[in-house]
């Protein structure tokens, strides 16, 4: 049997008399958010919902139309089976534009509610005034765009890719307008052209002394900039960790899905109020993701690590969800914590940083990785290395199929394969031996050449 708590509310059925808006408003204003179940009675018994699809549509419409500011992007309505019967689950995140209220009654004690224990209680006038003052100061929705001649071709492309069409009133629908009808700062971030640029830096060592690459992704829609950052990190996520007989081992530096989640979170939840974009830094032993802003007001570290969702930029969250860059609310961080530790998160006064340790440490002084030296060789010497590796892999594959072919990768064979005389090949092989990149294995007559990592015996 289930039990109501400060974050769980039961309702037997959806009726006109049921004030579902009140319950959702209370959770939107509560610092932890919450869940409303329809189809469970006050005793915690699952009784089910007869018209599950119809009630889901009605629930979504009532929440969307009956609550202000817009709760879009802050709730999910799904079906869950409890005791073999279907019930409706309304997941509500804590909102960043508190106080939320029932549109019909406005910012009043009849319209504003807050979760207190297991009940949704009316807010006092003082609570409403204090929360409203904070909202006006913090919301990007209320900050006008520095330019009003904005275009949104890139935004339309992303929506079209999901089979969604932006009509002429999309700016209002997506909350891209201030109260006076001008474009707000969210619109500016999503526009085709803006001054926001996300930086991705790469260093040779473990500190910031030796910068070797500095990329900027931006001056365009934040959606496009996000995709550019993700694509670049995908390129960086493979290191040739070893080359030896018979295979080269490629090892990813980080868990791609977890880091993708962290990258998008850093961009969506970044505090753009002071025009400071998130930053991504690649070191020889780690990836650091730094975003502006610490934990949202009213959220504790315990809330954060337990998956409590409180989007800093609700309008951005909604758009990123529409184009399938962000998944269900409250689930992303929990997936990340299956791979990385709480200790990898650093909360500062004005910034949040995630430090992702590499699975393999890169170092410009690491002499156990043969590939580093290959790039310093002549084209013919590189071809020798690749030929030896290629033949070794082919032989291994043939052995696996029980059709092994006897190939002796000796100086004669390399000479014939590369089309140069033996003396030239032997001279190259001597240099490769001196660099400890290849070695002769076996007797003088029946032995063969193989590729090794420097210092590997």
202 shares a domain with 341: yes
At which residue do the structure tokens 């003088």 appear?
Answer: 444
Closest CA to 321 of 345, 330, 61: 330
Q: Is residue 181 part of a domain?
A: no
345/339 Cα distance (integer angstroms): 13
238 shares a domain with 205: yes
Helix, coil or strand: residue 82: strand
Average pLDDT, the chain: 85
More confident position, 75 or 294? 75
Domain-terminating residue out of 103, 122, 138: 138
Q: Is residue 384 part of a domain?
A: yes
Residue 398 confidence (pLDDT) above 60: no
Encoding tokens for residue 413?
């064979």
Q: Is residue 393 part of a domain?
A: yes
Determine the pLDDT at residue 361: 63
**Which domain, by its residues, includes 65?**
8-138
Q: Is the dihedral of CA 120, 124, 130, 132 positive or negative?
A: positive
Q: Is residue 456 part of a domain?
A: no
202 shares a domain with 231: yes
Determine the pLDDT at residue 362: 59
Average pLDDT over residues 358-384: 64
Residue 31 confidence (pLDDT) above 60: yes
pLDDT digits (tens, 9 = 90+) for 318-361: 999 999 887 655 567 888 988 999 999 999 988 999 999 998 76
400 shares a domain with 353: no
* 3-state percent helix, strand, coil for the chain, nearest multiple of 5: 35, 20, 45
Confidence band of 375 (pLDDT split at 50, 70, 90): low
Q: What total number of domains does the chain contain? A: 3
Residue 403 confidence (pLDDT) above 70: no
Determine the pLDDT at residue 402: 41
First to last CA, the chain: 64
Average pLDDT over residues 112-118: 95
Q: Is residue 31 part of a domain?
A: yes
Closest CA to 320 of 138, 95, 155, 151: 155
More confident position, 139 or 21? 21
What's the CATH number where 81 sits?
Answer: 3.30.950.30
pLDDT digits (tens, 9 = 90+) for 90-102: 999 998 788 999 9
Domain-terminating residue out of 107, 123, 138: 138
Contact 237, 253 (CB under 8 A): yes
Q: Is residue 318 part of a domain?
A: yes
Q: Is residue 262 part of a domain?
A: yes
Q: Is residue 302 part of a domain?
A: yes
305 shares a domain with 344: yes
378 shares a domain with 328: no
Encoding tokens for residue 160?
């079209």
For the chain, the maximum distance between any two Cα atoms, rounded to a whole number of angstroms, is 95
Average pLDDT over residues 362-368: 44
Contact 136, 201 (CB under 8 A): no
290/278 Cα distance (integer angstroms): 6
- The dihedrals phi and psi of 56, each to the nearest 5 degrees, come to -65, -45
102 shares a domain with 19: yes
208 shares a domain with 131: no
386 shares a domain with 327: no
What's the CATH number where 381 sits?
Answer: 1.10.10.10
At which residue do the structure tokens 């009940």 appear?
Answer: 119
Residue 454 confidence (pLDDT) above 70: no
Buried b (16+ CB within 10 A) or exposed e, 93-117: bbbbbbbbbbeeeebeeebbbbbee
Closest CA to 2 of 113, 79, 89, 121: 89
Task: Check residue 269 and report its DSSP letter.
Answer: S
| pTM (2 d.p.) | 0.56
* CA distances to 24, 33, 185, 197, 441 from 275, in Å: 32, 28, 10, 10, 61
What percentage of the chain reaches a pLDDT higher than 90?
A: 52
Closest CA to 237 of 182, 291, 282, 296: 282
What percentage of the chain reaches a pLDDT higher than 70?
A: 85
223/216 Cα distance (integer angstroms): 14
Helix, coil or strand: residue 342: helix
Determine the pLDDT at residue 434: 80
345 shares a domain with 217: yes
Cα 369 to its chain centre, rounded Å, is 31
Domain-terminating residue out of 99, 122, 138: 138
C-beta neighbour count of 327 within 10 angstroms: 13
Contact 395, 402 (CB under 8 A): no
Confidence band of 245 (pLDDT split at 50, 70, 90): very low
Helices 422-434/411-418 angle, 10° precision: 120
Buried b (16+ CB within 10 A) or exposed e, 250-275: eeebbbeebbbbbbbbbbbbbbbbee
Confidence band of 59 (pLDDT split at 50, 70, 90): very high
What's the CATH number where 292 sits?
Answer: 3.30.565.60
Closest CA to 284 of 349, 362, 208: 362
375 shares a domain with 353: no
340 shares a domain with 380: no
Encoding tokens for residue 225?
């900039």
Residue 4 confidence (pLDDT) above 60: yes
Determine the pLDDT at residue 247: 44
């Amino acid at each position: 049997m289930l039990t109501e708590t400060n974050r769980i509310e039961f309702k037997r059925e959806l009726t006109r008399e049921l004030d579902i808006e009140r319950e959702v408003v209370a959770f939107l204003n509560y610092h932890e958010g919450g869940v409303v179940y329809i189809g469970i009675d006050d005793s915690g018994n699952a009784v089910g919902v007869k018209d599950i699809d119809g009630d889901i549509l009605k629930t979504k419409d009532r929440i969307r139309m009956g609550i202000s500011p817009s709760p879009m992007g802050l709730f999910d309505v799904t079906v869950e089976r409890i005791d073999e019967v279907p019930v409706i689950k309304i997941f509500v995140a804590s909102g960043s534009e508190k106080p939320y209220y029932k549109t019909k009654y406005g910012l009043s004690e009849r319209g504003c509610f807050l979760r207190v224990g297991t009940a949704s209680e009316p807010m006092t006038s003082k609570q409403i005034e204090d929360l409203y003052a904070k909202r006006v100061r913090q919301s990007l929705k209320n900050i006008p765009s520095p330019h009003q001649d904005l275009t949104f071709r890139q935004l339309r492309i992303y929506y079209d890719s999901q089979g969604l069409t932006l009509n002429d009133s999309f700016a209002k629908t997506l909350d891209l307008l201030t109260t006076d009808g001008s474009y707000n700062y969210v619109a500016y971030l999503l526009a085709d052209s803006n001054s926001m640029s996300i930086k991705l830096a790469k260093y040779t060592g473990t500190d910031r002394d030796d910068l070797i690459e500095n990329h900027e992704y931006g001056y365009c829609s934040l959606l496009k900039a996000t995709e550019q950052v993700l694509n670049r990190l995908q390129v960086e996520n493979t290191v040739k960790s070893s080359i030896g007989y018979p295979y080269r081992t490629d090892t990813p530096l980080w868990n791609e899905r977890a880091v993708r989640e962290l990258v998008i979170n850093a961009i969506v939840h970044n505090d753009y109020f002071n025009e400071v974009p998130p930053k991504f830094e690649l070191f020889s032993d780690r990836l650091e993701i730094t975003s502006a802003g610490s934990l949202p007001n009213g959220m504790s570290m315990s809330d954060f690590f337990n998956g409590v969702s409180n989007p800093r930029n609700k309008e951005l969250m909604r758009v990123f969800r529409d184009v399938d860059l962000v998944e269900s609310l409250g689930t992303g961080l929990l997936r990340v914590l299956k791979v990385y530790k709480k200790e990898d998160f650093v909360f500062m006064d004005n910034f949040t940083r995630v430090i992702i340790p590499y699975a393999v440490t890169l170092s410009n002084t690491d002499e156990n990785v043969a590939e580093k030296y290959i790039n310093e060789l002549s084209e013919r010497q590189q071809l020798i290395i690749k030929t030896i590796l290629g033949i070794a892999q082919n032989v291994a594959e043939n052995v696996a199929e029980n059709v092994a072919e006897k190939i002796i990768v000796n100086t004669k064979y390399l000479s014939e394969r590369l089309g140069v005389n033996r003396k030239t090949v032997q001279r190259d092989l001597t240099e490769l031996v001196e660099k400890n990149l290849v070695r002769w294995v076996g007797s003088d007559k029946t032995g063969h050449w193989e590729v090794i990592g420097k210092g590997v015996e």
